[in-house]
Structure 1
Amino acid sequence: MSLLQTEERLMDSPKRTESTDIQSESLKVKKELNTFFIGVQQTSKVTRKYIETSSHGIQLYYQEFTPEFIDAQIIIVHGFGEHSGNYKQLTDCFLLNNFKVHLYDQRGFGFSGGIRSKATIEEMHMDLQTILDQIDKSIPLFIFSHALGAAIVISFCLMNPQFSIQGLICSSAQFRVPSKYGKMKMITLQMMAKICPDLQINTYHNLSFASKNNHHIRKLATDPLMNPFMSIQFALNVLLFQQYILPNANQFQIPILILHGKQDKIASHLDSVDFYIQIQSKEKTIKIFEQGFHEMHNDSEWPKMKTIITQWCQKMLIKEIKINYLKQYNHGVLVQPYRSKIRLLTSILLIVLRKKFSCLKTSTQLSLVIFLELLLRIFISQ
């Protein structure tokens, strides 16, 4: 049986627990490996397996690439609708610079288990902790995150202020719901999240917004692991990120490199600029690419982006940055409660209706107040 057939069987296997040693000098191996095998030119060991999560028995598809010499390690967190296989060039870049690379498909995406695009923020934070538990704590750690993956990692860091790493790299971070959706759609979203959170909707994601590279767009269009559907619950996550990350950005202190394209029509570069201005990190850098689209790591900006990332990581490795892991992590986000706002709106309604309200019995008045408050809770997120 050829190596290609063996690897294909490995990829189709539900276990995928084997570790495969790859000799980088073997031309035969290079030619026969399929498209899922990335980083073969620079790595001496590749491990693919499923790892258990702490919720609902779901397993995450995990890949680990180990170079011959290790100076640091990095976790790559992908964005919405995609999977870890979309980061081949990035993985090769880090391996060339002696970084041990950890990739995983988030629950509901790629090869990982779970209902497609339905995870809550709490579950995604728990999955990130699962990956953190896999790594060698003695090696300096970086995290690369893209789009909604950046929102997941940043919110995780904000919820755990004592957690500290060597550096965080954010690419095309998505912190807000696109303005085109408007307030009425946001209100409708909050109502539907209470009624039918499992409902899947088509995002009608325009693949041409991802990259200027037509070859890459064709690849995305034919990739069976790409998922354009989003559950109501997952859409609510984006709204919660909007209500949590930017209002609490001044509490963020981890060294960070922010990369964003000015032509990004999926996540606005202005949000990244806003976040950069507010954060309190002593080491913070932002680079806006004038012609950059959403996936700059798969576009013409990649050579320059690669240089910026490499130089920044080397700079952070020289600095004495304290890395701190926690025994227990907080999950989910704490959005500021709107209870006072609900009380205020209830009072306004009662003032407007005071004449009719005063004619009612005490028990009826109490019931009406409770009803009004419950009604307002439907429209205002807690």
Structure 2
Amino acid sequence: MSTMDQSTYTTADGETLAIRDWPLDAGVHARGLVLIVHGLGEHSGRYEEMAQRLHMQSFVVRAYDHYGHGHSSGVRGALPTRRRLVDDLAHIVNFTRRTMGQGLPLILLGHSMGGLVAAHAVALNRVRVDGLVLSSPALDAGLNFGRRLLLAILPAIAPHLRARNGLDVNWLSHDTEVIKAYQRDTLVHDRISARLGRYIADAGPRVVKAARHWHTPTLLLYAGQDRLVDPQGSVAFARAAAAQVEQKLVEVHCYAQHYHEIFNELHREPVYRQLTQWLNERFS
């Protein structure tokens, strides 16, 4: 089992982002570097199993906590500026390339809100990466008309107003141990600000629109029984990227009976096998 190192990255405005690294042993040839981007309310420490599995395949792994999440600084669930999450990811990618990824292929792996942030950064050309893996990305937040109307108004008058994010933990996974661990985790929070909610609602459709001109090798994996994000967002992305799917630049797989956290499901092995196959085909 790989050891995990912890450090921090300080942003230009003095905030600190917590970083977790799973380095390879000396002398082991690295196939690439995977940067994990976590979801809303959680933190990078929940990706230990994924990091260990990638490590066994000779990938260097790094993960970080978003602003206002985990061990990073900032108000829980807040968003100081609309582009904060994308800006932070771009800084982490550049920092990672400078310090540990020189010459290595860099793959972003984003889950849920993290998948949205990673895809948005790619769509905006804010990051230069060699591959993108999207796990149940929040491309459609599944908001009804009333909530969309509220998010259209609130950020203008009370951008920092926070409320519960409404996440029902029972829809995370069929694995009850995953749910229990999530409930016990003191680094998990359930807050979301008006500005963060608006960002999630707005960025998803923009990513879907950009899919027609997608140029980054992408593996899209999503849950058919997702109740935390609307899987129709992934369907819409795949439809918009139909030409890239035909060219095998974009690969799409739906796990019809899975809940939101497909890599933490009871039947997670097919998901990991698909990830392994995709990585093996592209990063020898």
* TM-score, normalisation: structure 1: 0.68
State the AA in 2 paired with 1:102: R
Highest CA radius of gyration, 1 or 2?
1
How far apart are the structure 1 equivalents of 2:161 and 2:214? 34
Query: Structure 2 CA distance, aligned partners of 1:148 and 1:221?
Result: 19
Q: Does 1:270 align with 2:270?
A: no
| Equivalent in the alignment of 1:78 | 38
> What amino acid is the match of 1:275?
F
Secondary structure of the residue that 2:76 maps to in structure 1? coil
Superposed displacement of residue 238, structure 1: 1.4
Aligned twin of 2:261? 295
What value does the CA root-mean-square deviation take over the aligned residues?
1.6
Within the alignment, does 1:87 sit opposite 2:61 as a pair? Answer: no
Mapped to 2, the partners of 1:152 and 1:236 lie a distance apart of 13
CA spacing shift, 1:58–1:277, aligned 2, 3 Å: same
d(CA) in 1 for partners of 2:185 and 2:4? 23
Q: Find 1:256's aligned residue among 198, 201, 218.
A: 218
Whether 1:213 aligns to 2:175 is yes
Q: Which of 3, 12, 24 is residue 67 of structure 1 equivalent to? A: 24
Q: Is 1:75–1:103's contact at 8 Å kept on the other side of the alignment? A: yes
User: Which residue does 1:371 correspond to in 2?
Assistant: none
Quick one: which of 85, 92, 116 aligns to 1:124? 85
Unaligned 5+ residue runs, structure 2?
none
Aligned residues: 272
Equivalent position of 2:74 in the other structure: 114
Deviation for aligned residue 1:285 = 1.0
Q: Indicate whether 1:222 and 2:178 are aligned.
A: no
1:170-200 deviation digits (Å, cap 9, x = unpaired): 0001112314x22x33222221111111111
Query: Mapping of 1:342-381 within 5 angstroms?
Result: none
Secondary structure in 2 matching 1:91: helix
**Matched-pair contact (CA < 8 Å) for 1:201–1:231:** yes
Unpaired segments of 5 or more residues in structure 1? 1-40, 319-382
Q: Secondary structure at the match of 1:227?
A: coil
Helix, strand or coil at the partner of 2:17: strand
Q: Which residue of 2 aligns with 1:246?
A: 208
- Residue 205 of structure 1 aligns to a residue in which SS? coil
Higher relative contact order (CA 8 A, sep 6+): 2
The equivalent of 1:165 in structure 2 is: 129
Q: Map of 1:187-206 to 2, 5 A cutoff?
A: 187-206=149-168
Question: What is the rounded CA distance, in whole Å, between the counterparts of 1:105 and 1:246 in structure 2?
Answer: 25
Q: Is the 8 A contact 1:171 1:259 kept in 2?
A: yes
**Please, which of 95, 101, 104 is the counterpart of residue 139 of structure 1?**
104
Which of 113, 118, 135 matches 1:148? 113
How far 1:113 moved relative to its partner? 0.5
Query: Quick one: percent identity of the two aligned structures?
Result: 22
